[in-house]
Amino acid sequence: MKTLSLALLFLPLSLFSATLRVNNAPDTAPDHVTIQAAVTAAADGDTILIEGSTTPYTGFTITNKRLSLIGPGYGLNANLGTPANKLGATISSAPSYVRTTGSPGTANGTLVMGLEFLYDLTLDNCTNVTVSRCLFNTSASGRIQLNGPNNLISQCFFSGSGQTVSFGFNSSGARIENCLIPQSGLSTSGSGPILLYLRNNLLNGLSESTSTTVAADNNIFLGSISPQPTSTYRNNIFPSSVPFGINGSGNLGSVSLFTVMPAYQNSSASFDGRYKIGPAIPPPGGTNPAFNAGTDGTHIGPFGGANPYILSGIPPLPTIDEVSVPQFAAPGSTLTIRVKVSERP
């Protein structure tokens, strides 16, 4: 029954497309040992599951195919309740690309999820691509380059103080939602006229070029911003005063971040868990200005909205959380193996 239940949980991935496994560790019997080999073999609409490994993977290029690349998440040792296998899937050695070059086919609608990038990920001439629950190490050149319109960056963590997102001339309509960007900020300098949507993020700051229009709702800004007259800010939190001349309403300034996030700057908390929103009435009293205070009635910041940030970027797939195997079994007896499986949000 356990085997049947697990198979049924995975069934939605394979009803109408193929699912390919990638693992570069020895003795794992995967379909492919490199991501690129799986991408090359995959057909439009296929899913590629990239399993955790101690050996980094090399970058990949998706061209004119709509694929779903799903890794196990990142920083799995840092948080409680993560899968039994704590290995992540790190993309190193080369940049990665999702691109459309013309017919036949398109990379529009591709999903990249649950991976850790030490090199650039570029979305080139494609639209409606979702990059979700990934970690980008900006100190090691991990960032996203947008060269196509209407793409979504959601529930991602950006570590380091390097550039996080590069906005190209054709990147209007980009949406950044429920992301944690605590050390660096965003800058639209050098981009063409773009419309940028920021919703339910935590970020260090924002520098807008004169040709940028930003719609920013329910964000926590740790540092300064430079709003343009065409931009609108609603229900955002600032630790200093609300920027002068800002358009919008419901913005709060001079807010104590420790009231909003009790574990903020707590070295014993996990790298992403320290930014969780605290209770409505934080000790020793008062009120939490972020609690259910967003434009949609949910929390301000990454843990609010329709798709809250997920600790360690664990994908919404069934995971093996616990395996119990007896050390010995008597000859002729039954060896009982217990497996605990969870379906993730």
Q: At 1, is the pLDDT very low, low, confident or very high (cuts 50, 70, 90)?
A: very low
Which are the contacts of 75, defined by CB distance < 8 A and separation ≥ 6? 88, 135, 157, 270, 271, 272, 312, 313
Across the range 32-38, mean pLDDT stands at 98
Closest residue by Cα to residue 180 from 232, 219, 237, 228 = 219
Bridge partner residues of 32 (DSSP): 22
Output phi, psi for 25, to 5 deg.
-85, 150
DSSP per position, 13-57: HHSSS-EEEE--STT---SBSSHHHHHHHPPTT-EEEE---SSPE
Across the range 58-84, mean pLDDT stands at 97
pLDDT tens, residue by residue, 168-181: 878 999 999 999 99
Closest residue by Cα to residue 290 from 264, 266, 259 = 259
**What is the reported pLDDT for 190?**
66
Q: At 93, is the pLDDT very low, low, confident or very high (cuts 50, 70, 90)?
A: confident
Structurally, at CATH architecture level, domain 15-258 sits in 3 Solenoid (2.160)
Secondary structure (3-state) at 61: strand
Residue 144 has pLDDT above 90, yes or no: yes
Across the range 63-83, mean pLDDT stands at 97
**What is the reported pLDDT for 151?**
98
pLDDT tens, residue by residue, 299-339: 999 999 999 999 999 999 999 888 888 888 888 888 888 88
Residue 5 has pLDDT above 60, yes or no: no
Residue 182 has pLDDT above 50, yes or no: yes
Where b means 16+ CB within 10 Å and e means fewer, 265-280 reads eeeebbbbbbbbbbee
Closest residue by Cα to residue 59 from 83, 27, 77, 36 = 36
CA–CA dist 156, 300 (Å, integer):
16
Lowest-pLDDT choice from 140-144, 148-152, 334-338: 334-338
CA–CA dist 280, 296 (Å, integer):
16
pLDDT tens, residue by residue, 217-271: 999 999 999 999 999 999 999 999 999 889 999 999 999 999 999 999 999 999 9
